[in-house]
Amino acid sequence: MTTTLARETVPAPAPRRTLPAVSARRVWSIARRVLHELERDPRARVVMVGTPGFLVVIVRRLFDSDTAFSPTGAIMVGIFPVFTMYLVGSTSLVRERSRGTLEAVLATPTSRLDLVGGYLTAAFLIAIGQSVVTATLAYTVSGLQTESPPWVFGALAGVSGLFGMSLGLLISAVVRNEGQAFQALPGFFIPQMLVTGIVWPVSEMAGWVQWLERVLPLSTVSRSLTAARLHHFGGSSLAVNLAVLLCLIVAALLGAAASIRRRTA
């Protein structure tokens, strides 16, 4: 008598989901392509590199002395790079999608993290030039007076530019067209700018406005720059606000990478 043993079918273990590996070669390739595209557009170069410093020089003419200008000028050194880099980042992925290049790039082994990393690398290189020009004009032409050395403000301007680019990429990843990307500027940035101390001292605002200023993302930029202006190397206030700013940059980049779509819905 033959006994047949039934073989139990053991299901194969589900593949473990891992984050896609980021390739330095692919990141640099995307960064080179982004820089090449910007090199072909002279208006983008002027907006990113020259506009923040030029605006600081113009605003200086509204004040009677360097001492009166410094509280506002110190904040402008970081706020203006946020705006200019946001303008570039907020339309970048939208244009990639409309041209069909985004779909072609994501069809390759390039991951979304590679794509965001490439844009961030390009923004970092641009922010270096932007921060040098802005800080130089602020100190030499506009007479900015601060307790911290100029290179500290140059570094903060560079980080502020990366913050603007990361927010721009996040917006660009979720909107459908360039019009929606530009609508976020008056709806999201302008109200924040009005309560960061660039127009009126925060200490002289209403209590509820001061509370609102503490929780707005753009306030981390203004608070960092104000701390660097008032204290040598900014003290603990600069360290805390800079740490929060870096966390916001990382969160925005991860959000952009998770939200990128190949085509517009």
Instruction: Dump the DSSP string for 139-165.
Output: HHTS----SS-HHHHHHHHHHHHHHHH
pLDDT at 14: 46
pLDDT at 31: 85
CA dist., res. 151 & res. 148, Å (int): 8
Cβ neighbors of 73 (< 8 A, separation 6 or more) are 56, 59, 60, 138, 142, 144
Cβ atoms of residues 74 and 146 within 8 Å: yes
Q: In what helix (H) or strand (E) does residue 86 lie, and over which residues does it extend? A: helix 66-99
pLDDT at 156: 93
Neighbours of 7 (CB within 10 A): 6
CA-wise closest residue to 262 among 76, 128, 72, 99 = 99
Per-residue pLDDT of the chain (265 residues; tens, 9 = 90+): 444 444 444 454 544 444 456 777 888 888 888 888 777 777 777 777 888 889 999 999 989 998 989 999 999 999 888 988 888 887 777 777 776 676 667 667 777 788 888 888 888 888 888 899 999 999 999 999 999 999 999 999 999 989 998 988 888 878 777 777 777 777 777 888 888 878 777 878 888 888 888 888 888 999 999 999 999 888 889 999 999 999 999 999 888 888 776 554 4
